[in-house]
Structure 1
Amino acid sequence: MGRVVFFNVSAAGHVIPTLGLVKELIHRGEEVIYYEAPNFQAEIESFGAKFRSYPPLNPETAPPAENEMSLVPSLTWCAHQMLPELLESVRAEKPDYIIHDSLCLWGRLVAQILNIPAVNSIATAAFTPQTFYECPWLRKKLPGFLKQAAAGMKHYRQYQRELRGIYGIPPIKFVDTFTNIEPLNLCYLPPELQPYSDKFDERFHFVGPCNPVRGMEYDFPMEQLQKDKLILISFGNIHDPGVEFYRSCLQAFGNTDAQVVMILSPAMDVTLLGDIPDNFIIRPTGTVPQLKILERASLFIMHGAGGGAREAVWYAVPMIAVPQTYEQEIISRRIQEQGAGIMMMLEDVTVENLQQTAQQIFDDSSFGVNSGLLGDACRAAGGVERAVNEIWRYVYEKNSN
């Protein structure tokens, strides 16, 4: 039928949620051309998409990374650096439409400059200017964040001025850089997990998980997971809660009646943790069958990201969410509001607090029940079939009229 170009950011938590969408698009006859970093090439191609590598970036020219608001200058810098090559490449591909991640400013700009219909793919929580600025605890923190990130904000203003001058595009507002709203926006959370879900208009569709079954094999001793209580601790492929957090987990749950699987962040050196209790299995990130472990888990200690939350509720696993970013904080609060877990800020994590919070969840079966209800909501949201149906209506029906 048609040809689609897909742009994503180079993070597993954003790429993996789209692979089911890629598979279904190809199943319905679409040609999918996927732009990503080379380390994702093999898996993207395994689902039948054609791979294109992003243009190289010069890290020496990158703006400073001062706090989570530094995402804004970083995304405008990426767009500024990559747009010339991407525009030339996409012109040659002649796609019927573009799908881009909500953080891919360059994807929205390519579509805008070349006048190609575009779909926004949201792997985390969806945002609009209203939901971003109305959040009370963000309003309190934002002035301090922006003051701390003042150097980076200068880069953002410079890059967006240059992009406007070169390509004749409208101003790129602060929130635009990480929302990139389109006429069709697909979010992989169900409404029940999406913060402020009542504040989104008809352009947003909360379709739930679109993850495929991944054909990856892991060298992991599943046979050791024999205890009645199983705790999984994982903060994904990027975020690092720090050595003190991991040490607190070792002290809180070491030599207890629980089996603990603790996945370390890429930045963590296991030798800094000292002696490992016998009931712990320690692994680096990306080396465990997380879904198979969650099938058996009694508790998931995580960072409140959309992917981890979707996976936990799918298997009715209650959570302790320790957010590392604003986006994770609002999802963590949503998890707590829905009774599927408890949120803890990193500064409040102590051995005693971990023990008490975990025991509270173990003693109250409603946490698991409520997590399961969110899993039911994920299954009822429509998933990949609904997502592709919405794309069809937008691309092939609305834009043909």
Structure 2
Amino acid sequence: MSTPPASEFPHAPSLLRRGEPGRARHVAVFNFPRFGHIRPTLPVVRELLRRGHRVTYFAAESYVDAVAASGADVVPYPSSFPDAVEPVHTPEELSGLLVDFLREGLAALPAARKHLGHQLPDLVLEDALSTATSALIARDAGCPVVRTFAGFGGNDEVSLDGGEPAPENPLLPETAIIERAAEDLFTSLVPYGLDEAGFEYAQRGSAVSANLVFIPKALQPYADRFDDTFAFVGPEPGPDTGALRPAPDRDRTVLVSLGTSATANPQFFRGCADAFAGSGWQVVLATAGHLGAADVERLPAGVETHDWVDHDEVFPRMRAVVCSAGAGTVLDALRHGVPVVMVPQQPDAVTFARHLQKLGLGKTLNPEEATGATIRSAVEAVTADPAIGRNVARMRTEIREAGGSVRAADVLESLWPRTTTP
């Protein structure tokens, strides 16, 4: 097995001293290639930078600009993870999905080993779905690992979708497919210092020192099953606007957004626009590029369309939000005091949507049964229900009190030793 040049292998004998009082620290961030996973970490990055620390963020190439806007030192890596994860029905489909996760987990290793060879981090921040490369870098550096959860927190008792640990999947993957992919992946990464023991270690992941969950604890199912290593810091609450004072046009304005991971579905947007036409509702569509120019031309007059919207700018004038139950959009709606109608597009969003409905924060519709008419009916129901209004206002308060990026940065700083290590 070949050995890479010492300059690219970070088991360096002259480690920088850690724990020096007042010294700026270095945090390396690894994340999963979804904006919903990346976005909640960016306020934490900005807060660390504000405190004088250094942040190196390893980002899939398509997210480099978004991460760079936080001020972090961004290191791109090529990601081949699919844009949308379809439901799994066969052993072959399950095998393919597992291979996708396997490859993505180590996709950042070449860039990380090359970039961090000259200065190891004092702490590694990893996403719950991206733990392989981060485990190896943390082992190289001998530093703590903190895991982040964009949606529900997960542990041995609670799954990432907020439910009890699922029974064993009745589908058995095609192990030969996975083994071939693993062998090819391992061979390709040998020049970057990966050996067989390291490959096995990467698949197990590191023991973590703390966990940051970007939802308030009041939104977490089975919250009593999480120990004090879990900090439910919530999303960044944004500026304090005091009591809710809806803009004059808020009473009859609805945002419709499916997010970036949904399958392109122009008919969904057209159906919503047609259903609200002539009803006195103003409709804003955030299409994420799912509507072409010809589709937009066929929309009823008065419908406002954008590829993307700034939630902090748009949500204050919304009376309701129709979305795919992505955690980022839902939490932004709640922190602005806006109820939600959810039409989950991805398997992991189904349980999230059902849980929010159970908490009385909105309504959930089955995608196969959702039409413009049923969506309009659900919007009118959630906006007229005083109990939902009270629940949303209470959750808005929970988000504001969770602590956001300031509390998250406090957790990270608490893990650095106070005395100089030899």
Under TM normalisation by the shorter chain, which class is it?
0.7 to 0.9
Instruction: Confirm or deny: 8 A CA contact 2:136 2:198 kept in the other structure.
Output: no
Question: Which residue is 1:112 aligned to?
Answer: 139
Shift of 1:232: 0.5
Structure 1 window deviating more from structure 2 (262-271 vs 186-195): it is 262-271
Task: Identify which of 313, 338, 341 aligns with 1:292.
Answer: 313
Structure 1 window deviating more from structure 2 (14-23 vs 299-308): it is 14-23
Instruction: Confirm or deny: 8 A CA contact 1:233 1:260 kept in the other structure.
Output: yes
Instruction: Output aligned runs, 1:257-336, within 5 Å.
Output: 257-272=280-295, 275-284=298-307, 286=308, 288-336=309-357
Query: Distance between the aligned counterparts of 1:319 and 1:41, measured in 2?
Result: 30
Note if 1:7 corresponds to 2:30: yes
Instruction: Confirm or deny: 8 A CA contact 1:338 1:370 kept in the other structure.
Output: yes
Question: Which residue is 1:248 aligned to?
Answer: 271
Question: Which residue is 1:189 aligned to?
Answer: 215
Q: TM-score, normalised by structure 2?
A: 0.77
SS at match of 2:268: helix
Query: Distance between the aligned counterparts of 2:252 and 2:217, measured in 1?
Result: 30
Task: Indicate how the Cα distance of structure 1 residues 366 and 78 shifts in structure 2: closer, same or farther if over 3 A, else same.
Answer: same
Question: Which residue is 2:73 aligned to?
Answer: 50
Note if 1:386 corresponds to 2:407: yes
Query: Distance between the aligned counterparts of 1:157 and 1:366, measured in 2?
Result: 52
Question: Which residue is 2:417 aligned to?
Answer: 396
CA RMSD, Structure 1 to Structure 2 (Å):
3.6
Query: Distance between the aligned counterparts of 1:228 and 1:42, measured in 2?
Result: 35
Amino acid corresponding to residue 288 of structure 2 in structure 1: S
Greater fraction helix:
1
Task: Indicate how the Cα distance of structure 1 residues 314 and 171 shifts in structure 2: closer, same or farther if over 3 A, else same.
Answer: closer
Shift of 1:272: 4.3
Task: Indicate how the Cα distance of structure 1 residues 345 and 108 shifts in structure 2: closer, same or farther if over 3 A, else same.
Answer: farther
Note if 1:35 corresponds to 2:66: no
Note if 1:132 corresponds to 2:153: no
Amino acid corresponding to residue 9 of structure 1 in structure 2: F
Task: Indicate how the Cα distance of structure 1 residues 103 and 152 shifts in structure 2: closer, same or farther if over 3 A, else same.
Answer: farther
Runs of at least 5 residues in structure 1 that lack an aligned partner in the other structure: 214-223
With a CA cutoff of 8 Å and minimum separation of 6, indicate the structure with the bigger relative contact order. Answer: 2
Task: Identify which of 203, 210, 235 aligns with 2:229.
Answer: 203
Instruction: Confirm or deny: 8 A CA contact 2:262 2:346 kept in the other structure.
Output: no
Instruction: Confirm or deny: 8 A CA contact 1:138 1:326 kept in the other structure.
Output: no
Task: Indicate how the Cα distance of structure 1 residues 267 and 72 shifts in structure 2: closer, same or farther if over 3 A, else same.
Answer: farther
Question: Which residue is 2:121 aligned to?
Answer: 95
Task: Indicate how the Cα distance of structure 1 residues 321 and 134 shifts in structure 2: closer, same or farther if over 3 A, else same.
Answer: closer
Question: Which residue is 2:3 aligned to?
Answer: none
Task: Indicate how the Cα distance of structure 1 residues 67 and 397 shifts in structure 2: closer, same or farther if over 3 A, else same.
Answer: farther
Note if 1:350 corresponds to 2:371: yes
Query: Distance between the aligned counterparts of 1:242 and 1:364, measured in 2?
Result: 29
Larger Rg, first or second structure (1 or 2): 2
SS at match of 2:208: coil
Runs of at least 5 residues in structure 2 that lack an aligned partner in the other structure: 1-23, 89-93, 188-193, 240-246
Task: Identify which of 217, 230, 253 aligns with 1:230.
Answer: 253
Q: TM-score, normalised by structure 1?
A: 0.81
Query: Distance between the aligned counterparts of 2:223 and 2:181, measured in 1?
Result: 29
Amino acid corresponding to residue 374 of structure 1 in structure 2: M
Task: Indicate how the Cα distance of structure 1 residues 233 and 137 shifts in structure 2: closer, same or farther if over 3 A, else same.
Answer: farther
Question: Which residue is 1:79 aligned to?
Answer: 105
Structure 1 window deviating more from structure 2 (366-375 vs 39-48): it is 39-48
Amino acid corresponding to residue 111 of structure 1 in structure 2: A
Task: Indicate how the Cα distance of structure 1 residues 135 and 100 shifts in structure 2: closer, same or farther if over 3 A, else same.
Answer: closer
